[in-house]
Structure 1
Amino acid sequence: MNVLIVQNKPFLGELWQRHLQRHAHTAEIATDQESAIAKLSETYFPIIILDVVLDEGSAFAVADYASYRHPDARVIFVTNTSFFSDGSIFQLCSNACAFVPSATQPEDLAAMVEHYAKTS
């Protein structure tokens, strides 16, 4: 499974990447909106792990572009804030399939990737 991780904290993105690779997934990391959109324009990623708060750019722009470019791609949003804790992210992004804390265990994130990859 091809997974795009959009995370501006390199240590966290690399942790998730290594764990997904151990589960036989191909995972690429983008650290901002521009690099994420560049990767999405070149490669199909059925699953995107996307931090809600990016230092450079907008997570919603990335999700919108993914929805346009790859309508069946699913987005797992992660955050370390209380933004959207009411679930409103599912109303804002039609491709959102999950919303979890950044502190979610990597093995749980890998299980979510596998689950949503089967349903996409």
Structure 2
Amino acid sequence: MKILIAESTVPLAALWKRHLERMGAEVVVATTVDAAFDLIDQMAFQVIVMNVRLKGGASLAVADFAQFRQPDARVVFVTDSTFFSDGSIFKHSTNACAFLPSSTEPSDLAEMVSHYAHAN
């Protein structure tokens, strides 16, 4: 399974990456919106794990681009804020499959990502 992690907090992205790699995933990390756009344009992913507040401020634009370029890719949004806590992220992003707090246990996040990667 190929996974993109779009997360500006490098230690958190590295933690998630390690857990996913233990499950056999091929994982790349983007720490900015521009890097995420570039990777989506260059590689195919089953799942994109993306912070709603990704550095560069246009995570929904990244999700829209992914929907256009890779319509089968699912997006697991994570955040450390209460914005979108009402579930409206699913109205704004048609490829969103989950919305989790960034404090979610890395092993739980990895299991959820694996589930959606294999569901495609």
| Letter in structure 1 aligned against 2:84 | F
TM-score (norm 2): 0.97
Post-superposition shift, 1:55? 2.3
Aligned to 2:106: 106
| Letter in structure 2 aligned against 1:7 | E
1:33-64 Cα distance to aligned partner (Å, 9 max, x none)? 10001001110011000000022231001100
Give the secondary-structure state (helix, strand or coil) at the position aligned to 2:54. Answer: coil
**Alpha carbon RMSD of aligned pairs, Å?**
0.7
Post-superposition shift, 1:119? 1.7
> Whole-Å Cα distance in 1 between the matches of residues 24 and 110 of structure 2?
10
Please say if residues 32 and 54 of structure 1, whose CA atoms lie closer than 8 Å, have aligned partners that are also in contact: yes
1:70-93 Cα distance to aligned partner (Å, 9 max, x none)? 001000000000000000000110
Q: What are the ranges of 5 or more consecutive residues in structure 2 without an aligned counterpart?
A: none
Aligned to 2:83: 83
TM-score (norm 1): 0.97
Post-superposition shift, 1:28? 0.5
Mapping for residues 1-20 of structure 1, pairs under 5 Å:
1-20=1-20
Q: What are the ranges of 5 or more consecutive residues in structure 1 without an aligned counterpart?
A: none
Give the secondary-structure state (helix, strand or coil) at the position aligned to 1:3. Answer: strand
